[in-house]
Amino acid sequence: MLLVIDSANIEDIKELVDYFPIDGVTTNPSIIVKEKKNFLHLLKEIRDVIGNDRELYVQTLTFKATEIVEEAKYIIEKVPGKVVIKIPATIEGIKAIKILKTLGIRTMATTIYTPLQGYVAAKAGASYVTPYVNRIDNLAGDGIQVVKELTQILDKHKFNCQILAASFKNVQQVHNVCVNGAHGVTLAPDIIKNLLSHPSTEANVSMFNDDWYKEYGVKSLLNQNDVKI
């Protein structure tokens, strides 16, 4: 199951790649704009941090299929390593996904709000489909149910396409999509860090260390030559 960073902030990406088993980084125009840097320079910075073997997901900006295809080819030409082109699941986007499939360019259909949008994108040749879990909830829908039903469609009909769920406000939503069949999640840095957060874990670690120190007077296994028994 993929764990992908949803950010273009270099410092956040560096920290998360250092500590977590990260599979890639996903961006979109809004995320890029926040960093106030040249678009291509920023993508190359991200590539330098994550290496060529992790996937970098980059979104197109135009609306017409022919223009989306040209943007996709431009991105593939300019950005090294494994690149997946993100394309909104509009009618023009679906047409672009079909064309890019014939060119051997991998795509992610984004802005998915219904299982049938995901089905059409998968059938068009998208490598990934990305349901927006929390945004669906905000529209009085059920983001987890969309992931569950989309998983059933892709599995039952044996599509060569994975669900990379996005748009989360808390860890519970991440848990729910994991147990309901998502093949991966793309998460903001703070949510990734919270995957390991639990007060009992911190309390247990403190107790272990305190017990050891009270008995042996050292706080590391590397100091055992100094232990007096």
Q: Catalytic residue numbers?
A: 86
Q: In this structure, how many other beta carbons lie within 10 angstroms of the beta carbon of residue 155? A: 11
In whole angstroms, give the CA distance from residue 184 to residue 22: 11
Residue 68's alpha-carbon distances to 54, 85, 116, 121, 129, in angstroms, are 23, 10, 22, 15, 17
| Cα pseudo-dihedral 53, 54, 59, 64, rounded to 10 | 40
In whole angstroms, give the CA distance from residue 112 to residue 182: 14
